[in-house]
């Protein structure tokens, strides 16, 4: 009867999803049905795979791979999305691995715990009280962020809060440490840590209802286009893992593309990482339940691993962290080898140029595991490490050739060491000399990665039962670091301005630390356990709570006396500007707009890929993106070389149109002079919201 229940009950939410998708069109009903179906799926996973998290990872990998495959073959539509969801029902037909004896034992244990709770109702009163307090503090912080949402200019999210936000967060972290150290049920600790991580990762998703950053707008525009048309041409071999997943979720839940996109990675990171890391540590080092749960927060010490933006790169980083931990668990228990394998394929199809090293890492781990002799293990380890060194430079070379950008320049990489070292320099917006307090704060920012590596070394050295397979982790990290050096030396990235050419190598350097994370956590564990007196351990935990708060601060752009982040966000005025231009043109689509990236992002949000022009130099979008494109070059001239009419005419000549617009935001440096200069050469102009945005119109 129970077995039939798990077969028949999931059909009800599936039927509701189908009914809602075609007739009701309610996101409340759609989301509710999908949540119920997911809960049933995870419940069945606990019976068939031992843990719910195993089912969650399989479901995520299945959805990414299946949706992406169908996208390439046909497209992503409402119908294909439902059939993909229906396909996951096959999992409910799998037999349960839990025997009748195990079920009876678990039932007896649950009943015994219930009886003890009845006899001693205040036994866990302190844990319950602290848990409620942690949940209250975190939800209060989330509520505060919601109350401070803005559509105006706010370059840093920290401009929306005061120092009390960080004090409350630190207090919540300390109380969370206390709860986890005392709790007897791992589920409670993992739930609270998930809430804490969501508080950390969802800050910009809550504060900026229009979106944050720039890349995310391009990805959302692509997702919106796929939602409307089923696909976008040409079907490129990257990013589709994210695109098809977001569109699929929008089809089956009824939620907007925008809402799903901005919360996807924050939600997945907060819900998956605690259970994945804790269950992996349990299999790798047999740590106590409290330590398994507590060490999850160690990942948050590294600011650039924060999952606060949904982009293919960040989604692959999340998948990569999961693959690293589940692969290490696989080396201890080979039963669940298919979990890291499925997620590795999902990473490849989401971002192959970043997911490829993860595939190489996993295949090397499998070959070492299957090797019958020590010699062969060493051979596979050597081949895998050397392969990682050259893998990405080769893939980027192939991609450059595929896109018509030719072979890389074959320079001596040793002569490019100065360019490589520039990747570690502080950004230009950092003040060289600031007050002592800020210098101390930002000294810790410099130390975070070296300290993380130090803990990884401590963990690796102190673990006395190392096998050849475990040397794969530091060697892969080293190989990826050196691969970034080769990438910076050899490859020029198309359509990327010169000052952003180091972005991909820098991402690779940061990704290399993923392979040290398990050892870093083990090093933290050993360091705290080795403290001779409990008072030292408590002092260290207080220090960790403060450092975690500082890492949270560094995870997002900062605007203070030391760091003067120059970026901005898309505002309601940007939206009004692109709407005015669109309305002004009416049915006339032969025009271009020279504007900064954020105004262009607003246009992508409102009108997606509305128009582009085929030229001898390739396809050109009607707004001045990408930053390495010809229209952006003309935009730069208008800003910094004088507001000359000839620059606008040259831009119009590129795409053979007779109308163009030059957009200037009031917050731009030297905006007053630029505006006055443009008034002298433009045919007409328009102010948006009392001059917050100026639009200058040029005609031949």
pLDDT of residue 109: 64
CB neighbourhood size of 172 (10 A): 24
Joined together, the tokens standing for residue 226 give 């796929």
Q: How far, in Å, CA of 136 to CA of 144, rounded?
A: 12
How does residue 683 score in pLDDT terms, banded at 50, 70 and 90? very high
Closest CA to 245 of 234, 233, 237, 257: 257
Closest CA to 594 of 501, 502, 674: 674
Q: In degrees rounded to 5, what are phi and psi of residue 565?
A: -55, 125
- Sort strands 659-665 and 591-594 into parallel, antiparallel or unpaired: parallel
Strands of the sheet with 693-699, listed across from one edge? 591-594, 659-665, 693-699, 684-688
CA angle 520, 526, 530 (to 5 degrees): 150
CB neighbourhood size of 182 (10 A): 14
CB-neighbour burial class of residue 628 (10 A; exposed 0-12, middle 13-18, buried 19+): middle
> Which residue do the tokens 């605007």 mark?
559
pLDDT of residue 117: 58
Closest CA to 338 of 59, 99, 42, 6: 59
Whether residue 68 contacts residue 241, with contact meaning beta carbons closer than 8 Å, is answered with: yes
pLDDT of residue 450: 93
Q: In degrees rounded to 5, what are phi and psi of residue 581?
A: -65, -45
Q: What is the DSSP letter of 297?
A: G
Strand partners for 350: none
CB-neighbour burial class of residue 323 (10 A; exposed 0-12, middle 13-18, buried 19+): buried
pLDDT of residue 62: 96
Is the confidence at residue 689, as pLDDT, over 50?
Answer: yes
pTM for this prediction: 0.91
Q: How far, in Å, CA of 343 to CA of 540, rounded?
A: 35
pLDDT of residue 344: 96
Whether residue 22 contacts residue 8, with contact meaning beta carbons closer than 8 Å, is answered with: no
Is the confidence at residue 287, as pLDDT, over 90?
Answer: no
Is the confidence at residue 16, as pLDDT, over 90?
Answer: yes
Q: What is the mean pLDDT of the chain?
A: 88
* Mean pLDDT of all residues in 485-495: 69
Q: How far, in Å, CA of 539 to CA of 550, rounded?
A: 17
Q: How far, in Å, CA of 166 to CA of 651, rounded?
A: 48
Joined together, the tokens standing for residue 272 give 């998956």
Cα 653 to the chain's mean position, in Å?
A: 39
pLDDT tens-digit profile of 373-396? Answer: 899 999 999 998 899 888 888 887
Range in 65-79, 178-192, 636-650 with the lowest mean pLDDT:
178-192
Is the confidence at residue 171, as pLDDT, over 90?
Answer: yes
The answer for residues whose C-beta is within 8 angstroms of residue 472's C-beta and 6 or more apart is 361, 364, 365, 368, 381, 384, 385
pLDDT tens-digit profile of 587-622? Answer: 677 899 999 999 999 999 998 888 888 888 788 999
- Give the HSE-up count for residue 175: Cα atoms under 13 Å, Cβ half-sphere: 21
* Mean pLDDT of all residues in 345-370: 91
> Which residue do the tokens 């900026």 mark?
208
pLDDT of residue 499: 47
Closest CA to 404 of 528, 262, 234: 234
Closest CA to 301 of 197, 203, 158, 155: 197
pLDDT tens-digit profile of 88-118? Answer: 999 888 777 665 555 566 666 666 665 565 5
> Over the Cα atoms of the chain, what is R_g?
27
Percent of the chain with pLDDT over 90: 56
pLDDT of residue 102: 59
Joined together, the tokens standing for residue 377 give 């293990």
Percent of the chain with pLDDT over 70: 92
Range in 29-38, 255-264, 426-435, 660-669 with the lowest mean pLDDT:
426-435
* Mean pLDDT of all residues in 651-661: 92
Asked, as a colleague might, if the bond just before 626 is cis with ω within 30 of 0, I would say yes
pLDDT tens-digit profile of 464-487? Answer: 888 898 999 999 999 999 988 888
């Amino acid at each position: 009867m129970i077995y039939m229940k798990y077969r028949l009950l999931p059909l009800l939410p599936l039927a509701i999803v189908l009914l809602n998708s075609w007739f009701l069109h309610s996101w409340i009903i759609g989301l509710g049905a999908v949540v119920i179906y997911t809960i049933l799926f995870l419940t069945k996973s606990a019976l068939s795979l031992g843990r719910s998290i195993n089912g969650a990872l399989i479901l995520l990998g299945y959805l990414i791979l299946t949706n992406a495959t169908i996208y390439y073959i046909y497209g992503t539509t409402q119908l294909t999305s439902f059939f993909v969801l229906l396909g996951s029902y096959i999992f409910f037909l799998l037999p349960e691995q839990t025997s009748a004896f195990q079920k009876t034992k678990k039932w007896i244990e649950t009943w015994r715990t219930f009886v003890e709770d009845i006899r001693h109702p205040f036994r866990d009163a302190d844990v319950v009280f602290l848990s409620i307090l942690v949940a209250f503090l975190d939800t209060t912080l989330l509520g505060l962020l919601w109350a401070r949402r803005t559509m105006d200019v706010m370059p840093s999210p920290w401009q929306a809060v005061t120092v009390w936000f960080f004090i409350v967060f630190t207090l919540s972290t300390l109380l969370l440490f206390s709860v986890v150290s005392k709790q007897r049920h791992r589920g409670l600790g993992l739930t609270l840590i998930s809430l804490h991580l969501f508080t950390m990762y969802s800050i910009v998703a809550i504060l900026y209802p229009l979106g944050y950053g720039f890349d995310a707008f391009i990805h959302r525009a692509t997702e919106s286009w796929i939602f409307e048309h089923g696909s976008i041409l040409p079907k490129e071999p990257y990013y589709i893992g994210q695109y098809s997943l977001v569109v699929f979720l929008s089809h089956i839940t009824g939620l907007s593309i925008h809402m799903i996109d901005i919360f996807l990675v924050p939600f997945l990171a907060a819900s998956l990482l605690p259970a994945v890391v804790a269950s992996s540590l349990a299999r790798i080092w047999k740590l106590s339940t409290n330590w398994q749960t507590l060490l999850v927060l160690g990942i948050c010490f590294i600011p650039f691993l924060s999952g606060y933006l949904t982009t293919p790169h960040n989604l692959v980083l999340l998948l990569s962290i999961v693959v690293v931990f589940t692969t290490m668990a696989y080396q201890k228990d080979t039963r669940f080898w298919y979990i890291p394998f499925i997620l590795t394929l999902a990473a490849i199809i989401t971002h192959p140029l970043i997911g490829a090293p993860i595939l190489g890492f996993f295949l090397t781990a499998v070959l070492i595991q299957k090797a019958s002799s020590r010699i062969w293990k060493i051979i596979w380890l050597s081949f895998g490490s050397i392969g990682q060194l050259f893998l990405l430079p080769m893939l980027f070379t192939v991609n450059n050739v595929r896109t018509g950008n030719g072979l890389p320049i074959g320079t001596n990489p040793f002569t490019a060491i100065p360019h490589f070292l520039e990747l570690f320099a502080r950004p230009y917006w950092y003040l060289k000399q600031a007050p002592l307090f800020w210098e101390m704060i930002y000294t810790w920012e410099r130390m975070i990665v070296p300290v993380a590596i130090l803990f990884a070394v401590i963990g690796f050295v102190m673990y006395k039962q190392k096998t050849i397979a475990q040397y794969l982790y530091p060697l892969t990290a080293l190989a990826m670091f050196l691969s970034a050096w080769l990438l910076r030396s050899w490859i020029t990235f198309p359509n990327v301005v010169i000052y952003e050419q180091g972005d991909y190598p820098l991402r690779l350097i940061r990704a290399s630390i993923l392979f040290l994370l398990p050892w870093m956590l083990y090093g933290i564990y050993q360091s705290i356990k080795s403290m001779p007196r409990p008072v030292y351990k408590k002092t260290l935990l207080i220090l960790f709570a403060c450092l975690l708060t500082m890492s949270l601060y560094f995870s997002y752009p900062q605007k203070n006396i030391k760091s003067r982040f120059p970026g901005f966000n898309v505002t309601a005025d940007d939206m009004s500007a692109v709407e005015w231009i669109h309305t002004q043109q009416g049915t006339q689509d032969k025009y271009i707009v020279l504007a900064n990236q954020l105004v262009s992002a607003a246009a992508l949000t409102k009108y997606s890929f509305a128009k582009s022009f085929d030229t001898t130099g390739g396809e050109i979008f009607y707004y001045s993106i990408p930053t390495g494109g010809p229209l952006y070059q003309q935009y730069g001239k208008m800003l910094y070389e004088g507001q000359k009419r000839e620059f606008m005419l040259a831009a119009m000549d590129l795409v053979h149109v007779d109308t163009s617009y030059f957009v200037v935001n009031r917050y731009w440096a030297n905006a007053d002079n630029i505006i006055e200069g443009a008034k002298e050469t433009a045919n007409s102009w328009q102010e948006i919201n009392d001059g917050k945005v100026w639009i200058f119109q040029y005609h031949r």
